[in-house]
Each structure stands twice: as C-alpha cells, then as structure tokens.
Amino acid sequence: MKIAGLQKLTLLDYPGKTACTVFTWGCNLRCPFCHNAGLVTETFREAMTPDELYAFLKKRIGLLDGVCVTGGEPLLQPDLIPLLEPIRGMGFHIKLDTNGTQPEKLRQICESGLISMVAMDIKNCPGKYAVTAGTDSISVEAVQQSVRYLMQQAGLPYEFRTTVVRQYHTAADFAAIGKWIRGADAYYLQSFINSGHLIDDSVTGCTPSEMRAFLEIVRRDVPNAALRGI
C-alpha cells in the first residue's frame, strides 16, 4: 500500500465530522491544476506503513470521527480494501475521494460495507474531459458509469465537486454538467487555489462573482449545488 502522506486533523474534508486524511500515491490523470502534483509526478516516497497508520488511529479512537482516503487516485491501489478493513473495525467512518475512472472498483468498495461516503470529481463536461484531465487515455464512459452508480445504485451519501479553473471552464460547460448530473444530492463548485505544487503553474482561478454566476447556471438542474472555498 503506497501511503504518501497523512494530515492528522481536518475539519473540512469530511462534512460534519472531525477526521484525518490519508494520501495515497499515484494517479491515472494529469490535471494541470492538480494541487497534489507531487503524488502524480514524483517518485513514491513512503510516509508511513499501514501498521504505523493503524497505531496512529488507535490513539485517536474517540477523538476522530472519520478517515478521508484521497490521492492521487486511491482506487488504483490493489490493497486498498485490506488497508481499510482494520480502520473500519476501529469504528471510524471512511470517506473515499475518487476521480471516477474505475467504476468496477468503485462498486466493489461501496458494496464492501467499509466506506460511509464518496466524493467524486467532475473534471468538466464530457466533451472537454480529456483536455481538463490532461490525458487522452481517459474513458469518459467509465466516469459516466461511476456517476450513474453513485446516483442510482450505491445507496451511500455522495458528493460531486468541480475545481473551477479559468483556462478550462466556461458557462456553457457548467450548463452541460448540470444536465449531466441533474438531480444530484450534492454538487460543489470549488474555488481553485494555487498550492505552489501544480503540474501547470499558469492556471488561475475565477472571481467570486464568476463562481456565483456559474453556480446559478448549475442550479437550474442541481438545486442543491453550492460553492466551496469562497
């Protein structure tokens, strides 16, 4: 299991819960605005072993409610389920972050009973997915399968979210996204913030007024949509 980092406390990553965040290494996308670019472009450096993670969590029983598992793309890790079993056994709720490109693995982990919530990225409207994700090898149909599964079958709390970048997103894109995920339980437009560790340092965010305008477009089809990070 390739654990590349641990944030010991977060009040933001797991809605309504006090949590820690585990970062897995490696991703099949190359989003130019990725704020965890080191997990994608650099050689893997182990931050801790699973046993070290378990030892940390045992000391946090009763103090933390949940564990967020993010990346990179966690579903690329072949031993993700074995990693999560002891964590769930300690009583922690587990939230999975995913890019949605692995629908069968997403189904498997949702049906394992180990996770309590899924947060899935919507990179852009289907027609601009490859350029926004930074790779031509992406299967938009796989992403669409994951969206349908979460909305119609998974039976778990979920959220979709889009990091809004001036160079990649337009009003027309958000109109298309809204139609694509019409009726979703939760959808967030996230303000892009330059972490200083990007794949492309030239990308920029949008103004609060632009973000609000995009939100109003999305709300035509996703009334529960909201802004995050504004």
Q: What is the CATH number of the domain that holds 168?
A: 3.20.20.70
Question: Structurally, how many domains does the chain consist of?
Answer: 1
Domain range for 102 is: 3-228
Contact 114, 88 (CB under 8 A): yes
**Sign of torsion over alpha carbons 56, 61, 62, 66:** positive
Contact 98, 120 (CB under 8 A): yes
Long-range contact list for 191-195, CB < 8 A, 24+ apart? 191/163, 191/164, 191/227, 191/228, 191/229, 191/230, 192/33, 192/163, 192/164, 192/165, 192/166, 193/35, 193/229, 194/35, 195/35, 195/36
Tens-binned pLDDT, residue by residue, of the chain (230 aa): 999 999 999 998 999 999 999 999 999 999 999 888 888 878 888 889 999 999 999 999 999 999 999 999 999 999 999 999 999 999 999 999 999 999 999 999 999 999 999 999 999 999 999 999 999 999 999 999 999 999 999 999 999 999 999 999 999 999 999 999 999 999 999 999 887 777 878 899 999 999 999 999 999 999 999 999 88
Helix axes 171-180 and 208-218, enclosed angle (nearest 10): 40
Strand partners for 3: 24
Tell if the pTM clears 0.75, that is, is over it: yes
